[in-house]
Amino acid sequence: MNIAFLMAPEGVEQIELTRPWQAVARAGDTPLLLSTKPGRIQAFHHLDKADSFPVDLVVPGGGSATDFDALVLPGGVANPDALRMDEKAVAFIRAFFDEGKPVAAICHAPWTLVEADVVRGRSLTSWPSLRTDIRNAGGIWVDEQVKVCREGPNTLITSRKPADLEAFCSALTDELAKESAGSGARP
């Protein structure tokens, strides 16, 4: 399965990219790095520059949600803040919900879900400072290590912070295995 990892050209929290990426690859799926600009994305360790990673595809034009089996949205503060200001990135995210495909978001990444107007009636978690934004967008914010929400046509997996990555990666790979086996199909 092809799994899209969408991020802005700068500001992603490196561990929130690399740990889920490694988990997806270990599970036998193909992670692909998508961004809003070609070249490389600059990751961070909190506020300090970390490594950079090559972009596989650019949104838009580098494929649509129909080309992928799931979407992963890593966090960091600057990354989702930049993505939610990009109309084409927001439309790309919304398309995964329209098509009923799994979406996973960690830390500050649910900001992009708020902007895509896909949290209404869904239970999710995030970095605590997003609690009010999620509630104002009609979502149900919970303080849990990982929240798997099956409301609506697709599965939404969310976690609060890097310390939750083990649970996040486990929930993500479990959901991808269900999708691959066909048991993740929705009525």
Our answer to whether residue 107 is catalytic in this structure is yes
Number of H helices, E strands in the chain: 6, 12
C-alpha distance from residue 134 to each of 34, 120, 142, 143 (Å) = 25, 8, 10, 12
Whether 171 and 186 have beta carbons less than 8 Å apart is answered as no
Q: Which of 46, 108, 149, 169 is catalytic?
A: 108
Q: Which of 45, 46, 107, 149 is catalytic?
A: 107
Enzyme catalytic residues: 107-108
